[in-house]
Amino acid sequence: MLEHLHIKNVALIQECALHFGRGLNILTGETGAGKSMVIDSLHFALGGKESKDFLRKNESSAVVEALFVTKNEKVSLFLEEHGIPVETDGSVLIQRTMQASGRTMARINGSMTTAGMLKELAEELLDIYGQHEHQSLLNPAKHITLLDRFCGDKITPILQEYQQCYAEKKQMQKQLQMLCGSEGDRAQRLDILRFQCDEIAEAALYEGEEEELLQQKRRFSSVEKRMRLSMQGVNLLYEGSMEQASICDGLGEAVQMLQEVVELDDTLQPLLERMDSLYMQIEDAARDWKHYTQELEADPDALQNIEERLQTIYRLKRKYGGSISAVLAFYDKVCAELELLENSEEKVAELEQNIQQLCLQMETLAQKISKIRKSTAEQVQAQVEEALHDMQMPQAKFLISIQNRKQFHIDGTDLVEFLISPNAGEDLKPLSKIASGGEMSRVMLALKTVLVDADEIGTFVFDEIDTGVSGKTARKVGEKMHVLAKKRQILCITHLPQIAAMADNHYRIEKHVDHGRTVTMVEELDEETSCMEIARLMGGENITDTTLAAAKELCLEKRK
């Protein structure tokens, strides 16, 4: 259930904190006071999209926090799968912020998350229904999904197995279509594949080749410079010139001089040994450098071959991928498709046999699914009719039509549509033929009442679904909500006193001007102020003794 909702800087709401209890939570207030802002805020917190007008004027950010407490195992599993901390008390704290730029940020139990993840989680936490959602109920394509929710765990594993077979069949049919295309298309495709295979195979690429070639290119491109510098260095060290002796010659003369000194003073013998060793090392290094220089030779052909090889690699990368590894992966894929097409007759027979086996398996699963739906539909029909009768539609007939489409679809072979006859003597018709918004609201409430035992969702939200309902019918709708609220937490925005009187927790939403700005406030009402608010709903702002007495009478009837 939803325990707390904190809203800050949302439209007319500067800041408010609501504590919701179990049972029926009623929100009332004058038209335009901001009742729907509370539901919009909750919708936003759970991943819904809002415009920049959602942010209060002149504020930098809007924040909505929602605290749920739930024992729904699907919620815990969702949190674990996404690496979000799971609280031992079952609490789920959701926080979402909108910046002035329109950018939003969200957290679940302190962990950053996305709007998509919030929406997925919201499906297990609460169900919001408002006037705009009539369109969903009026769309027959949605009815099969709703019926499957009634079926619950009885249908889920079988439907999942069927859908897996359906996906495999679609993939095989795609391959079959490719293999069984026209001869011209097939021959053209074979030519393209063979060319691609031959072109890549002939290139004989390997991982790391491009890096090796670039390194070789740098070496061959610098031959002339390396030769020039090496010759100059060898001359300086070893060869010398007409104008200047080499370093080796100069060092040799110095060693000879030091030898003569040592003959006169042997204390310099260690220095002589060091100088002699240095001379031999430099002479040896000079010879190696000279040898390196003699072997250097410009090879324009080798450089050209490297350039041509690199161009081949660049061309294949442009055509088949951004790297050698991508080209090789493309080659493997093309070879597999080529092998498939070249052995098409054998593969076609194999695919056709596999598709036939899958169809038999799907037919068996579809029959099981259909049987579960029909059995469940009979129970739901009776329960929905009973609920409609309780809400002043005593002659209403409700039917879940299940027809066989004789073709496989993602959800089976059933065509499901909800039909209704609101009044005696009328034929059963699609829900879209219902003209009255009040009747549509009661149908939805009846479906929710039945669904409550087949759903783990802990909170239902009704946003003014009582439109078009009044008088005794409104009383019956309120009673139905009161009964439903014994099993689930309900948040309901209403303008009807008959429904408000059924509240377990009552909140009044009103607006006033503070320092030149309009501000929406939310106040939790006690028993006395709740009766006063119900009296206002009955008779307007001028509350009389008569309306107050009538309001108290409505509140007393809830306790009977």
* 8 A C-beta contact, residue 499 and residue 556: no
How would residue 299 be classed by pLDDT, with cut points 50, 70 and 90? low
CA distance 474 to 397: 20
Identify residue 279 by its one-letter amino acid code: Y
Q: Which residues pair with 509 in a beta bridge?
A: 522
Q: Of 105, 33, 113, 93, nearest to 63 (Cα)?
A: 105
Q: Of 433, 444, 537, 417, nearest to 130 (Cα)?
A: 444
Residue bearing the bigger pLDDT, 398 or 223: 398
Residue 553 has pLDDT above 90, yes or no: no
pLDDT value of position 345? 66
* 8 A C-beta contact, residue 472 and residue 392: yes
In sequence order, the 6+-apart residues with CB closer than 8 A to the CB of 176 are: 348, 351, 352, 355
Residue 377 has pLDDT above 90, yes or no: yes
Tokens in use for 2? Answer: 């939803």
Mean pLDDT, rounded, for 171-192: 75
Kind and range of the H or E run holding 412: strand 412-421
Domains defined along the chain, listed by start: 1-128+458-473+489-526 (3.40.50.300), 139-168+345-457 (3.40.50.300), 181-342 (no CATH)
CA distance 500 to 251: 111
DSSP class per residue in 381-409: HHHHHHHHHHTT-TT-EEEEEEEEEEEEE
Mean pLDDT, rounded, for 252-265: 86
- Give residue-wise pLDDT tens across range 36-66: 888 889 989 998 888 878 888 888 999 999 9
pLDDT value of position 437? 65
* 8 A C-beta contact, residue 131 and residue 464: yes
CA distance 503 to 482: 8
Q: Which residues pair with 402 in a beta bridge?
A: 416
pLDDT value of position 373? 95
In sequence order, the 6+-apart residues with CB closer than 8 A to the CB of 252 are: 279
Q: Of 431, 437, 483, 432, nearest to 460 (Cα)?
A: 483
Residue bearing the bigger pLDDT, 211 or 183: 211
Identify residue 31 by its one-letter amino acid code: T
Phi, psi of 372 (to 5 degrees): -65, -45
CA distance 454 to 78: 20
CA distance 418 to 150: 13
CA distance 93 to 149: 26
Tokens 């925005």 appear where? 493
Residue 61 CB coordination number (10 Å): 16
- Give residue-wise pLDDT tens across range 425-465: 888 988 877 756 667 777 878 887 887 766 677 888 887 66
pLDDT value of position 157? 94
Average pLDDT, the chain: 85
CA distance 70 to 92: 8
DSSP class per residue in 315-346: HHHHHH-SSHHHHHHHHHHHHHHHHHHHTHHH
Identify residue 550 by its one-letter amino acid code: A
* 8 A C-beta contact, residue 31 and residue 541: no
Residue bearing the bigger pLDDT, 298 or 210: 210
Residue 136 has pLDDT above 70, yes or no: no
Mean pLDDT, rounded, for 276-303: 80
pLDDT value of position 181? 61
Q: Of 333, 339, 337, nearest to 174 (Cα)?
A: 337
Q: Is the pTM of this model over 0.85?
A: no
- Give residue-wise pLDDT tens across range 192-211: 989 999 999 998 999 988 88
pLDDT value of position 538? 85
E-strand stretches of 343-390: none
